[in-house]
Structure 1
Amino acid sequence: MSLYRLRDPVIGRARSLLRARLGAFHSSSPISSRCSTWNIRRFSVAGDGFLFRPVPFSCFTGAYGRALHLESVGIRFFSSTDSSHAVLGMPALSPTMNQGNIAKWRKNEGDKIAVGDVLCEIETDKATLEFESLEEGFLAKILVPEGSKDVPVGQPIAITVEDPDDIHKVLANGVSGAREPDVKDNAIGDQQEKNEDRAQASSAEINPSKLPPHIVLEMPALSPTMNQGNIAIWRKKEGDKIEVGDVICEIETDKATLEFECLEEGYLAKILEPEGSKDVPVGKPIAITVEDPADVESVKSAVSSSSGIKEDKPAQSTVKNEVGTSKGGSVARISPAAKLLIAEHGLDASSLKASGSHGTLLKGDVLAAIKSGKGSSEVSLSIEKRSPEVRSQASSTASSESKSSVKQSDAFEDLPNSQIRKVIAKRLLESKQNTPHLYLSTDVILDPLLSLRKDLKEKHDVKVSVNDIVIKAVAVALRNVPGANAYWDNTKGEVVFCDSVDISIAVATEKGLMTPIVRNADQKTLSAISSEVKELAEKARTGKLKPDEFQGGTFSISNLGMFPVDHFCAIINPPQAGILAVGRGNKVVEPVIVDGIERPVVVNKMNLTLSADHRVFDGKVGGEFLTALQANFSNIQRLLL
């Protein structure tokens, strides 16, 4: 339906909104966090009107072959008699993002939002990015609170309104549920099923048609691989005014904590995901904004009253295949994944505890019950109805599960993994499984390096570390041996040579290992490298790295020389083809020719071990690289050129 068919008096507003969206869509870069928070979706309103909300970045082919990834993020509702409101969904901020975490809301319910204001910060698997508003308005309701995890892309996260007087209408009338997730194919994985469960559980809280003009903010995808995020802190509180560019909240990813900026003016009406929420799926509602501060209370009351009604009168659900009807009202709804598990294990849904919103039984609830041995009587009853072979197998399974639960000890503490550590674990395993590692090792004499470092400090007041000089030496060696500065293209099945030398530096943080990048390291001076490394390391430790500061790189260095580690083999960081492991320096007796006479001399020696992708490196290329590197340490002055 064409936009011009929208009935007056909203046609002028609709046209201006469409022009603004199209302008942002065509002028934005796919890697811009400011322009990647809106997606395209057609929504029918007032009987004959449709509005498209274009969103860059999410419309590109993803790593999993999705030619067009369109998810609901911001939906503006119009009518011929009422003011408009917008439901903000979790945006897809990268080609492969399907969920995110809300680190922090920068705006509170009722806050005014200006174009460019940061509504909240969304955590991906790579970084925490700012969710900016593209319109003026007020944050009427936050549907996904700060700290929410694994918010699916497209799931409503907040509601905004144009008129602050409409905030109370949003809160009073409620927001209708978003679409319920379909049962995914098993190949998609448990994580996506979990996201569906959580999205389904929270979707019933919102009834956009009954709210005043508002915007539902959703967890955005802030990196190519982000599917969930953590809400670290809300910068804005419910009722706070939001200006364009304001940071609403901070969102933690596996790589960094990024700020979620607002692109519209308004007021933060409701925070749906509180501060500290973990694993908020991309697309899950995290907050609601409105344009009129008067609508803030309406959004709050509407969402709260809607939630209360659903909890007081839960609907009964049934599960086929030996699953009984829900009793006692403890379980109002059952997610698709949970239904399959209940049917498979013959459990009674009414005996299980639901942790989802409004009494929704999730997959995790069923798994927890199975692990703890709950519902064993139901399992026994269902076993009796089966064939002897099935009864025997099922009895054995139930017995083993019961025994395992008895053997469990309380003398331990579960430490939840951060997004960073989860991704690190996954990628390191993939690297060892899919990359043929080749290991080459050599020793270098450190005395020339230590002498140069001392001279720079005493004579020129230039302070550089051993690691700074190692970075420069490695970069120059890669420039001289271009065959080592390459990577393997899995799609084409061939080696690709890099045209720049970008060194990734492993930095240990409380959240996990980070790899900020010193770009064009072969062309920089030692003092420039030293300053840049210090700045990047500090950003990594505080979670403030920008995506372009840790994404990419052509070669990595892992230095454990500050520990009593003489030698180690590092794991390659895909898609790179090489990583150099640097051990500590040790004093050893080495035969050295002095004045033409070979004499035993005490020298400082350091071990270097190259881990290389054997598809890219063969022994010859690896040997040439280590030879060039060793020459740089022997003739250290060349690094000053």
Structure 2
Amino acid sequence: MLYLIAVSRNAAYVHGAIYWNNNIDLPSHTILPMPALSPTMNQGNIVKWRKEEGDKIEVGDVICEIETDKATLEFESLEEGFLAKILAPEGSKDVHVGQPIAITVEDLDDIQNVPATVSTGLEAREEKTMESDVQDQGKKQKTGFSRISPSAKLLIVTHGLDVSLLRSTGPRHTLLKGDVLAAIKSGSASSRTSDSPQQGISGSPMSKSVPTGTSSSESSAHLHPPEKQEDLPNSQIRKVIAKRLLESKQNIPHLYLSSDVILDPVLAFRKDLKEQRGVQVSVNDIIVKAVALALRSVPEANAYWNDERGEPALCESIDISIAVATEKGLMTPIVRDADKKTLSAISLEIKELAAKARTGKLAPGEYQGGTFSISNLGMFPVDQFCAIINPPQACILAVGRGNKVVECTVGSDGTEKPGIATKMSLTLSADHRVFDGSVGGRFLAALTLNFNEVQRLLL
């Protein structure tokens, strides 16, 4: 649940984005804009309206559900009234923060005095787009398209196609790569001679036809598009994930350190907790606790890069972010003060947070922040991988699955004997601006000690 105060009372517009007929005598009303539900949110999607036009709204009632860049949150009312007009219908995508989404009135009789049609500023942009399309229509009639993507241009030049025979399917008459590939496959666009002008394509970096000795069918055999394809819409969460991870790989110098740990003491410890103490925890719960205690031993690893000061800064608490896969994207709920909590408390909290993450019900305070991340793919056939740092954090630990291996052990008589052991691969991705390999090495050494001496996890 999220309580918001984001209204403009008795106003004719919000941020210049809503317009009324000046001749209409407006009732007392409140305009609800799209709220900023997280620090990184600049737009959102209207998932579902819980109230319909004409419904009574009480304090605390959920008006609608909004998908943000992190989760789907409920918009609750802090005032009484009636929902007079829904400006952003259910299913509206990419509604910018501050854009009006609804109008409420104080009295039920005032609903009939609210205009049936309201301009929200979007119509002006749509009319401008339509005018531009009309202006481009002349070019479209000559070539079948008014815009062309770089990849489509390259294919046309490479295969010497007649652009006047190509037809576009992209937005605003844009010729896409798929359009050219479809024309090549069907043979609808005949090849031009090598010395013929390139109609409709200017500034092309290539002017030569297909190299001699290579037939058009051979060069385009691997370019055939699939017969059927489906575009998958991106959620707000996935859009933000893509943006942040790209920025992370581009701007953060990743340092990778790997180490194998023997998992058998942990498995025996987990079995003992269940059989003798009635406490059931997962291997991932134990990893979280082991990482938290290792960070307490090596506080330099529990740090982040301060952009404003241009230097690393230590975190005051140890808050572990746990990567959880959901249908809408990867979420990272946080176990705060993990070094101070018992294994059973950590286990219960992770179960609750994971359930909320998968249903999109995480509150902002449950996923914002965190000082260290863990990404565990041990439940899949993944032996080892390198994870991408989740900024502004400086570290993320990638955990692979446990594998049975032959391991030599020293017997009581001092001789080495082969035996079977379960090994698990750990890979630390660290921000090299924050600490160097020696700090990462000390952290992995402390973490390995926690796995070998599992009784430390009960302290």
Matched, 1:74 2:8: yes
Please give the residue correspondences for 1:120-519 in structure 2 after superposition, counting only pairs within 5 Å. Answer: 154=15, 178=16, 203-204=18-19, 210-299=25-114, 302-304=115-117, 333-334=127-128, 368-372=171-175, 395-397=200-202, 411-519=228-336
TM-superposed CA distance for 1:223, in Å, is 1.2
Taking the aligned partners of 2:243 and 2:116, their CA distance within structure 1 comes to 38
Taking the aligned partners of 1:398 and 1:298, their CA distance within structure 2 comes to 58
In the TM superposition, what whole-angstrom CA distance separates every residue of 1:35-71 from its partner, at most 9, and x where no partner exists? 5x33xxxxxxxxxxxxxxxxxxxxxxxxxxxxxxxxx
Contact 1:589 1:603 in 2 (8 A): yes
Contact 2:397 2:426 in 1 (8 A): yes
Contact 1:244 1:262 in 2 (8 A): yes
Q: 1:497 to 1:271 in 2, by over 3 A?
A: same
Q: Which letter maps to 1:589?
A: V
TM-superposed CA distance for 1:230, in Å, is 1.0
Q: Name the Cα RMSD after superposition.
A: 3.3
In the TM superposition, what whole-angstrom CA distance separates every residue of 1:204-233 from its partner, at most 9, and x where no partner exists? 567696322211211111111111111111
Q: Which letter maps to 2:432?
A: H
Name whichever of 453-462 and 215-224 sits farther off. 215-224
Taking the aligned partners of 1:508 and 1:479, their CA distance within structure 2 comes to 28
TM-score by length of 2: 0.79
Greater radius of gyration (CA): 2
Q: 1:460 to 1:218 in 2, by over 3 A?
A: same
Q: 1:422 to 1:394 in 2, by over 3 A?
A: farther
Q: Which letter maps to 1:287?
A: A
TM-score by length of 1: 0.57
Q: 1:443 to 1:239 in 2, by over 3 A?
A: same
TM-superposed CA distance for 1:442, in Å, is 0.3
Contact 1:580 1:610 in 2 (8 A): yes
Partner of 2:346: 529
Q: 1:611 to 1:296 in 2, by over 3 A?
A: same
Taking the aligned partners of 1:345 and 1:254, their CA distance within structure 2 comes to 37
Contact 1:219 1:282 in 2 (8 A): yes
Contact 1:206 1:303 in 2 (8 A): no
For residue 625 of structure 1, the aligned residue among 432, 437, 443 is 443
SS of 1:464's equivalent in the other structure is coil
Partner of 2:432: 614
Matched, 1:602 2:415: no
Q: 1:426 to 1:460 in 2, by over 3 A?
A: same
Partner of 1:34: 3
Q: 1:279 to 1:523 in 2, by over 3 A?
A: same
Report the count of equivalent residues. 395
Taking the aligned partners of 1:291 and 1:398, their CA distance within structure 2 comes to 61
SS of 1:616's equivalent in the other structure is coil
Q: 1:242 to 1:442 in 2, by over 3 A?
A: same
Contact 1:446 1:606 in 2 (8 A): yes
Listed as ranges, the gaps of 5+ residues in structure 1 are 1-31, 39-72, 78-85, 90-153, 155-177, 180-202, 316-330, 353-365, 374-391, 401-405
Contact 2:296 2:339 in 1 (8 A): yes
SS of 1:396's equivalent in the other structure is coil
Q: 1:559 to 1:599 in 2, by over 3 A?
A: same
In the TM superposition, what whole-angstrom CA distance separates every residue of 1:81-127 from its partner, at most 9, and x where no partner exists? xxxxx76x4xxxxxxxxxxxxxxxxxxxxxxxxxxxxxxxxxxxxxx
In the TM superposition, what whole-angstrom CA distance separates every residue of 1:182-207 from its partner, at most 9, and x where no partner exists? xxxxxxxxxxxxxxxxxxxxx45676
Q: Which letter maps to 1:249?
A: C
TM-superposed CA distance for 1:397, in Å, is 4.8
SS of 1:423's equivalent in the other structure is helix
Taking the aligned partners of 1:483 and 1:341, their CA distance within structure 2 comes to 58
Matched, 1:551 2:368: yes
Listed as ranges, the gaps of 5+ residues in structure 2 are 146-168, 177-196, 206-222
TM-superposed CA distance for 1:534, in Å, is 0.3
Name whichever of 564-573 and 236-245 sits farther off. 236-245
Contact 2:56 2:83 in 1 (8 A): yes
TM-superposed CA distance for 1:274, in Å, is 1.8
Q: 1:342 to 1:493 in 2, by over 3 A?
A: farther
In the TM superposition, what whole-angstrom CA distance separates every residue of 1:288-318 from its partner, at most 9, and x where no partner exists? 111111122332xx223x67xx9xxx99xxx
Q: Which letter maps to 1:492?
A: R
TM-superposed CA distance for 1:341, in Å, is 9.1
